[in-house]
Amino acid sequence: MVAKLSDDESPDFSTLSGIMDYFNKVPFETFKEKLNDWFLKELPEKRPDLVKPNGDIDLPPGLFDLIEKIYKLAEEKDQSRLN
C-alpha cells in the first residue's frame, strides 16, 4: 500500500534516501513530475553554466536520454512493487 503525504509535506530531493522515500509514498507519475519540477527549479542556482541567457536549459547531449532510461527502470520497479 502506498502511503500518502500530508498536504503540507514537501518532498526532500536533496538526498537519495529522500528521493526514494518520496518514490515509495506517491504514484509514479506524481514522483516523476515533482522530481522534474524540483530539478528545473534548482538547476539555475546549482549549475548556472547549464542555463542560457534567455533561460533555456542547455543540458549535455545524452542527458535527457539517460534520465528517461532511469525513469523507465523506476517505473518498472514501481510496477513490480504493485504486483
Distance CA 51, CA 32 (A): 21
Can you list the alpha helix ranges (DSSP code H) found in 1-83? Answer: 16-23, 28-46, 63-82
Ordered by start, the domain boundaries in the chain are 16-82
| pLDDT for residue 18 | 94
**C-alpha cell of residue 83:** 504486483
| pLDDT for residue 1 | 41
Closest to 43 (Cα-Cα) out of 19, 22, 60, 27: 60
**pTM over cut 0.85:** no
